[in-house]
C-alpha cells in the first residue's frame, strides 16, 4: 500500500515570503510526499508578493483564491484600480508577470476532499454542496457566491451579511460557521479557512481557521491534516497595520 501524502494547509501568506520559507523548513515540506494547500491571499500588504507566487509555482502548490488575490488579478486585467495600501506592484512590474498572474488565476474558489473542505473566508449556511456551488467560477466573476466565499466573517442564518464585519455586529449576525455547521452534511468535513486574523487560530472539531495575522506581525500557520498538527512561525516584523 502506498504511503499517504501529507496535505499541508497554510494560512494567509500575503506576500510574506521569508516567513513562508521558514514555515516550509519547520514542516519539512517534501514535494515528493507532500501537497501544499494555501487558504488564499497569497499576495498584498506584505513585502514580496512576486516571491511568494514564484515559490508557490515552483512547488506546484494548490490552494484557493482569496479576496486580495482577486483584487490583484482584476487590477492586472484593468477592471479594478490600484489602491494606496496595495503592495503587489512587484507582480505587476515583473518580467514574468504573465506567468505569475496566469498561475494565480488558475486557483479555484474551493477545493474538497472526502474529509476536508478548503475555502478562503467561509461557506454560506444554505449551501448543501459548496463545491458544486463554487465550481466553474473564475477570478473575474461577479456572482455573489464568489464574494461570499472570499469575504464573509459574520452572517445571519439565511446568509445575509452586515454592512461591516471588522467588529462583531451583534445579533442576528454571528460567525458564518455557527450556522453552517448545524447542517448534517457539514459535520462530515473539516472546513479549513483564513481571512479572519482578528479571530486568530481556530481549532474545533469541524473547523481549522489558519489566518494568524502574519502580515500584521503575528504568525504564519500551517495545519498538517494527516498528523492533525499545527505548526507556525513568528513574523519577522509587522508589514502593515491591522485593519488596513
> pLDDT tens digits, residue range 215-224?
999 999 999 9
pLDDT (0 to 100) of residue 243: 54
Q: What is the mean pLDDT of residues 72-85?
A: 96
Looking at per-residue pLDDT, the higher value among 131 and 166 belongs to: 131
Specify which residues 174 forms β-bridges with: 155
Give residue 59's domain range: 8-234
Which pTM was predicted? Answer: 0.95
Look at the block and give the residue holding cell 448543501. 128
> With 60 as the cut, is the pLDDT of residue 48 above it?
yes
Indicate whether 230 pLDDT > 60.
yes
The reply to whether 243 falls in a domain is: no
Determine, yes or no, domain membership for 241: no
At 188-226, the pLDDT tens digits run 799 999 999 999 999 999 999 999 999 999 999 999 999
Taking residues 111-137, report their average pLDDT.
94
Is it the case that residue 186 has pLDDT exceeding 90? Answer: no
Q: Please state the φ and ψ torsions of residue 241, each to the nearest 5 degrees.
A: -90, 135
On whether residue 240 sits in a domain, the answer given is no
Asked whether residue 1 is domain-assigned, the answer is: no
pLDDT score, position 183 = 74
Task: Give the residue-averaged pLDDT of 32-39.
Answer: 96
Strand order in the sheet with 207-209: 110-112, 116-119, 190-193, 207-209, 202-204
Check which CATH number belongs to the domain holding 18 and give it: 3.60.21.10
3 within some domain: no
Looking at residue 187, what is its pLDDT? 66
Output the CA torsion sign for 183, 184, 187, 189: negative
**CA distances from residue 87 to 113, 208, 218 in whole angstroms, order as listed:** 33, 28, 18
User: Could you count the other beta carbons within 10 Å of the beta carbon of residue 30?
Assistant: 11
Mean pLDDT calculated for residue range 148-172: 94
Q: In the predicted model, what is the mean pLDDT of residues 84-100?
A: 97
Q: Is residue 244 part of a domain?
A: no
Total of domains in the chain: 1
Amino acid at each position: 500500500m502506498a504511503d499517504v501524502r501529507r496535505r499541508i494547509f497554510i494560512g494567509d501568506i500575503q506576500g510574506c515570503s521569508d516567513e513562508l520559507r521558514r514555515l516550509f523548513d519547520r514542516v519539512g515540506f517534501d514535494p515528493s510526499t507532500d501537497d501544499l494547500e494555501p487558504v488564499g491571499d497569497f499576495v498584498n500588504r506584505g513585502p514580496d508578493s512576486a516571491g511568494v507566487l514564484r515559490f508557490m509555482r515552483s512547488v506546484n502548490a494548490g490552494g484557493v483564491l482569496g479576496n486580495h488575490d482577486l483584487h490583484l488579478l482584476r487590477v492586472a486585467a484593468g477592471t479594478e484600480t490600484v489602491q494606496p495600501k496595495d503592495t503587489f506592484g512587484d507582480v505587476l512590474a515583473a518580467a514574468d508577470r504573465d506567468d505569475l498572474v496566469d498561475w494565480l488565476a488558475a486557483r479555484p474558489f474551493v477545493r474538497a476532499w472526502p474529509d476536508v473542505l478548503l475555502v478562503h473566508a467561509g461557506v454560506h449556511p444554505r449551501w448543501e454542496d459548496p463545491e458544486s456551488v463554487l465550481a466553474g467560477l473564475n477570478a473575474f466573476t461577479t456572482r455573489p457566491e464568489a464574494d461570499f466565499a472570499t469575504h464573509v466573517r459574520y452572517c445571519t442564518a439565511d446568509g445575509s451579511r452586515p454592512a461591516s464585519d471588522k467588529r462583531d455586529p451583534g445579533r442576528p449576525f454571528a460567525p458564518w460557521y455557527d450556522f453552517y455547521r448545524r447542517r448534517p452534511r457539514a459535520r462530515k468535513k473539516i472546513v479549513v479557512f483564513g481571512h479572519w486574523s482578528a479571530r486568530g487560530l481556530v481549532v474545533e472539531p469541524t473547523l481549522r481557521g489558519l489566518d494568524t495575522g502574519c502580515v500584521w506581525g503575528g504568525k504564519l500557520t500551517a495545519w498538517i491534516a494527516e498528523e492533525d498538527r499545527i505548526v507556525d512561525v513568528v513574523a519577522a516584523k509587522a508589514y502593515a497595520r491591522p485593519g488596513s
